[in-house]
Structure 1
Amino acid sequence: MEPIQLISDNFIEENCDFKSLIEGLREGFSTDKIEVPLRHHHDFSNPEENKDSTLLLMPAFQPGRDLGVKIVTVSPNNGKYDLPSIQGTYIYLDAHKGNIKAILDAKSLTGKRTAATSALASSYLSRKDASSMLMIGTGALAINLIQAHASVRPIKQVYVWGRTLQKAQLVCDALKDFPFRCIAVATIEEVISQVAIISSATLSPVPLVFGKWLKEGQHLDLVGAYKKDMREADDEAILRSSVFLDTYQGGLKESGDILIPLNNGVITRESIKADLFELCCNKKSGRTSDTEITFFKSVGHALEDLVAAAYFYKEFNLKSETNV
């Protein structure tokens, strides 16, 4: 039996080519061969924090080829312990014989696949000439989202907003060697109307993006607000936009950014233009004009993890062969 490969966050961070990963995801979303059960989502009490934590189990499999499951916990208050709020492990297996091929640290795997998925959506939904971006949030996803968006669009100017200007500056400092200018900003409102792409990845329970600030032609990429009672954009933002999801399966059931306006009658199920399966299969169109405002909500999908695990497993073995 082949040994189980242990693929670390460091390897994933150092060996991710976003363009290649995005194309892998495009292929994954355009096939019907990958089966993905609805993920298990369990909120559980965390008495010491007086705030619920979450357990997520995300399986996916391509019969006869490979399968995997991600085990994730979300602990919103972990910042005060200098720990990430999202932690997890990915188990990657052979779907034919059932043996484990690799165990991957899920932190970087999730960050890379999430950012690549947003960039995949952007390739259909943002303007092709989009050269500016606002990043809302300074967590682990921020740097990945900026890099991924810049891999599909000619980004030259990036603004970063966080709960503190110091945290926003740290993100900018980490990107100082990239071919775009990165500036930390004190408020969202001061720059949001100036950019082509707005990406938000926060744990905010209340909207940070307001429709009154948006302008024609913008693309809104919402990655945070992972619970039914959380949202990053208000009703006016969704009403002014053409709305797209990563998947109907998760987007219509787990995201407050979609569920709250749906339940309040602000939008209907028919308001959703398409998901990534339909976009990647060319069954439905993305952006249709330069003046359209597009709204993409990502909640995460186990297909993304399986595709990313296969990508990094291949890269790991290629590197191992090279080093022999």
Structure 2
Amino acid sequence: MRLIDGDTVHRVLDYPGLVAALRRAHDAGMPDAREMFMEEPDGKNRGRGLIILPAWSAGGMLGVKLVTIFPGNPVAEPPLPANQGLYVAFDGETGAPVLIADGTALTLRKTAADSALGVDLLACHDAASLLMVGAGALAPHVIAAIVSVRPSIRDVWVWNRTAANAQSLARAIRIEGVSVRAVENLEATLPHADIVSSATMATEPLIRGNLLKAGCHVDLVGGWNAQMREADDDVIRRATIFADTRALCRDCGDFLQPVTRGLMRWEDIKADLFELCSGSREGRVSPDEITLFKNSGGGHLDLFVAEELMRRLQAESRANTPAMQA
């Protein structure tokens, strides 16, 4: 069994290769995946919880991600991620544990690559600008992953409610040939963005659909529960709607709230990643079409990433093993 730290996860799973691996995995079909959520028993610290995400590919690997949710961590001293965890993978033939990996790093890579796969399948091929809404731990990974599949991007703009956080992130990112800068006026920037990616804890919409340019691709990473929402009703009205999985997006406020109010139907989701990657349904059909992709996550994605991590590590081991002398 191998113990894999976060630095190794980030080093081994480059974004172009991971996005390609996710595309192949989606073409092969959905594993059996479940979810269990446990709240802190005494309820004194509202919002704390434990998520257990098992998944099992038929004839392949199985695994489980254990994730803690401690919302107060980012403002603690010293600050810590709000979500931390481990991923444990098992051999599909023997049931033996084969890998324990840093769950925080694996989640960052998984989530960013999920959004990047949506961009690769749906965004205009000549997209030149990206607006990143939010400047948390996930933001630099989403930026790197999206730029990796759209090397045509030349401008990245970062907006955050706390301007200093956007400025700090913009200074920290270095991508050859790409200008990265913080912006203070979200509404003034939205009309210029070819791709808008939002990874926030917003409960009121930040992205206004009437401001989006023709051909824009919108990637929603936050809004994972019924109370949270990142995009307003005009985004739903104007966009062609896609999701990473049809089932898991039903708990997300950006879709659930409009459905509850009769603004959209679940049938309005044109395709998910499994349908797009298999070619059973088409994606963008026009350069002027606005596309909306909901990144819902899920244990199946963690399993896909763990499988690719295991393949990469095994390949490294073979490459570093001296050839047997005849």
TM-score range for the pair, normalised by the shorter chain length? over 0.9
- Counterparts of 1:43 and 1:247 in 2: how far apart (Å)? 25
- Counterparts of 1:46 and 1:205 in 2: how far apart (Å)? 26
Q: Give the corresponding residue for 1:8.
A: 5
- Counterparts of 1:64 and 1:211 in 2: how far apart (Å)? 44
Match of 2:235 among 213, 234, 237: 237
Letter in 1 for 2:245: T
Give 5+ residue unaligned stretches, structure 2.
Answer: 322-326
Q: Give the corresponding residue for 2:199.
A: 201
Displacement of 1:301 in angstroms is 2.1
1:241–1:294: 8 Å Cα contact kept in structure 2?
Answer: yes
Q: Give the corresponding residue for 1:155.
A: 153
Letter in 2 for 1:201: A
Q: Deviations over 1:69-117 (max 9, x none)?
A: 1111222222111111111111011011001101011111111111111
- Please state whether the residue corresponding to 1:84 is helix, strand or coil: coil
Question: Is 100-109 or 168-177 further displaced after alignment?
Answer: 168-177
- Counterparts of 1:46 and 1:240 in 2: how far apart (Å)? 44
1:38–1:250: 8 Å Cα contact kept in structure 2?
Answer: no
Question: Is 107-116 or 307-316 further displaced after alignment?
Answer: 307-316
- Counterparts of 2:102 and 2:209 in 1: how far apart (Å)? 37
2:171–2:181: 8 Å Cα contact kept in structure 1?
Answer: no
Percent sequence identity is 37
Q: Do residues 57 (structure 1) and 52 (structure 2) align? A: yes
Q: Give the corresponding residue for 2:185.
A: 187
Match of 1:76 among 71, 75, 86: 71
- Give the TM-score normalised by structure 1: 0.93
Letter in 1 for 2:259: L
Q: Do residues 267 (structure 1) and 270 (structure 2) align? A: no
1:247–1:275: 8 Å Cα contact kept in structure 2?
Answer: yes
- Counterparts of 1:41 and 1:18 in 2: how far apart (Å)? 29
Displacement of 1:44 in angstroms is 4.8
Q: Give the corresponding residue for 1:292.
A: 289
Displacement of 1:322 in angstroms is 4.6
- Give the TM-score normalised by structure 2: 0.93
- Counterparts of 2:60 and 2:93 in 1: how far apart (Å)? 6
Question: Is 279-288 or 173-182 further displaced after alignment?
Answer: 173-182
Displacement of 1:320 in angstroms is 4.1
Q: Do residues 89 (structure 1) and 86 (structure 2) align? A: yes
Q: Give the corresponding residue for 2:31.
A: 35
Letter in 2 for 1:273: K
- Counterparts of 1:54 and 1:265 in 2: how far apart (Å)? 32
- Please state whether the residue corresponding to 1:191 is helix, strand or coil: helix
Q: Do residues 280 (structure 1) and 277 (structure 2) align? A: yes
- Please state whether the residue corresponding to 2:88 is helix, strand or coil: strand
Displacement of 1:163 in angstroms is 2.5
Aligned-pair RMSD on alpha carbons? Answer: 1.7
Q: Deviations over 1:173-230 (max 9, x none)?
A: 2212433110011121121110100000011111111112212110000001111111
Q: Give the corresponding residue for 2:324.
A: none
- Please state whether the residue corresponding to 2:188 is helix, strand or coil: coil
Q: Give the corresponding residue for 2:62.
A: 67
Q: Deviations over 1:281-322 (max 9, x none)?
A: 111111110111101011102221112112222323333455
